[in-house]
């Protein structure tokens, strides 16, 4: 784990924090890898019912640290940096449990792409949201033109990516980039309250509903469908008979229930 990424568990709630405030929580390679590791740890925790993602300081996340990718050759940019970010972000987006992002500061570029993996985004008044990459002569690399379009719509992504315009938290709420706006210093508190509400509901139902919504949105269609099919067949007498027949080296006698 990177020293700038901290994962803690308390009861049924996991908290994933970016802790590099002096660099506006800009992501280096170790931080990207740590986000993926954190997603796997959350996934492995059977006690966890919901997770909160946040950043310390004035920024939620300012995107990828230019020092980490600015001098990379083109092929290394693709093979290493871009694909590593996709692996980590997809692991977070496809978490079994809901993920709530508390935007206590600005979310730019890869930071907004990171916020987009969450199921719910709570933003504080005064923060800004945007995709400034084309101003640097590059394109969004961590699903800014894909996941963001699916979740927020092509029109709003075009405005940010093609013109470099920044949206306030209030504008972002009107456009669907964030779900709620709070006063300064309150986003994390609100995220905690919402996480408690989620954790109090039926955990299996919540996880199944999240999987189905992800599937409908195009986030991940194969795993929910096949996962639910597998879970359904696992409850049947036919599967028990099939396993028993295999172990007994005999032909199965299926009964259809």
Does residue 223 contact residue 94 with C-beta atoms inside 8 Å? yes
Least confidently predicted of 30-44, 191-205, 209-223: 209-223
Does residue 191 contact residue 52 with C-beta atoms inside 8 Å? yes
Least confidently predicted of 1-5, 13-17, 80-84, 125-129: 80-84
Task: Give SS3 for 164.
Answer: coil
Instruction: Residue 8: count other Cβ atoms within 10 Å of its Cβ.
Output: 10
| The pLDDT of residue 62 | 94
pTM of the model: 0.90
Closest CA to 195 of 42, 61, 88: 42
Task: Give SS3 for 180.
Answer: strand
Query: In this prediction, what percent of the chain has a pLDDT beyond 70?
Result: 94
- Residue 70: partners with Cβ closer than 8 Å, 6 or more residues away: none
Give 167's strand partners.
Answer: 129
Mean local confidence (pLDDT), 28-40:
95
Cα 249 versus chain centre, distance: 45
User: 133, 180, 192, 241: which is the annotated catalytic residue?
Assistant: 133
pLDDT at position 77 over 80 = no
Whether residue 133 lies in the annotated active site: yes
Instruction: Residue 14: count other Cβ atoms within 10 Å of its Cβ.
Output: 24
Q: Which two tokens stand for residue 189?
A: 């508190």
pLDDT at position 40 over 70 = yes
Topology (CATH level 3) of domain 5-199: 2-enoyl-CoA Hydratase; Chain A, domain 1 (3.90.226)
Helices (H), ranges, 20-108: 29-44, 66-69, 74-76, 83-93
Whether residue 113 lies in the annotated active site: yes
Give 182's strand partners.
Answer: 124
User: 33, 113, 124, 219: which is the annotated catalytic residue?
Assistant: 113
161-181 burial by CB neighbour count: b if 16+ within 10 A, else e?
beeeebbebebbbebebbbbb
Least confidently predicted of 137-146, 181-190, 213-222: 213-222
Read off the pLDDT of residues 88-112 as tens digits, 9 standing for 90 and up.
999 999 999 999 999 999 999 999 9
Task: Give SS3 for 132.
Answer: coil
Q: Which two tokens stand for residue 241?
A: 């008979």
Residues of the chain with CATH 3.90.226.10: 5-199
Does residue 116 contact residue 146 with C-beta atoms inside 8 Å? no
| HSE-CB of 214 using CA atoms within 13 angstroms | 28
34-58 burial by CB neighbour count: b if 16+ within 10 A, else e?
bbbbbbeebbebeebbbbbbbbbee
Q: Which two tokens stand for residue 185?
A: 């210093």
Closest CA to 242 of 231, 253, 256, 232: 253
Read off the pLDDT of residues 158-167 as tens digits, 9 standing for 90 and up.
999 999 999 9
Does residue 111 contact residue 59 with C-beta atoms inside 8 Å? yes
Residue 172 pLDDT class (50, 70, 90 cuts)? very high
Phi, psi of 8 (to 5 degrees): -130, 155
């Amino acid at each position: 784990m990177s020293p700038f990424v901290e994962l803690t568990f308390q009861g049924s709630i996991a908290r994933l924090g970016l802790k590099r405030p002096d660099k506006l929580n800009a992501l280096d390679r170790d931080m990207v890898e740590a986000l993926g590791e954190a997603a796997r740890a959350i996934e492995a925790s059977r006690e966890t019912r919901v997770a909160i993602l946040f950043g310390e300081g004035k920024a939620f996340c300012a995107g990828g640290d230019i020092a980490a990718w600015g001098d990379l050759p083109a092929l290394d940019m693709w093979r290493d940096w871009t694909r590593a970010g996709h692996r980590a972000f997809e692991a977070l987006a496809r978490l079994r449990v809901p993920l709530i992002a508390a935007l206590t500061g600005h979310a730019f570029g890869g930071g907004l792409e990171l916020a987009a993996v969450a199921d719910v985004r709570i933003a504080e008044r005064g923060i800004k949201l945007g995709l400034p990459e084309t101003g640097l002569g590059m394109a969004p690399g961590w699903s800014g033109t894909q996941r963001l379009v699916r979740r927020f719509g092509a029109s709003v992504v075009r405005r940010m990516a093609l013109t470099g315009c920044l949206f306030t938290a209030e504008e972002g709420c009107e456009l669907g980039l964030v779900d709620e706006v709070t006063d300064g210093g309150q986003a994390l508190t609100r995220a905690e309250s919402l996480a408690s509400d989620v954790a109090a509901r039926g955990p299996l139902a919540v996880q199944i509903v999240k999987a189905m919504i992800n599937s409908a949105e195009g986030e991940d269609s194969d795993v929910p469908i096949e996962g639910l099919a597998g879970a359904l067949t696992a409850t049947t007498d036919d599967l028990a008979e099939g396993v028993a027949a295999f172990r007994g080296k005999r032909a199965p006698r299926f009964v259809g229930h």
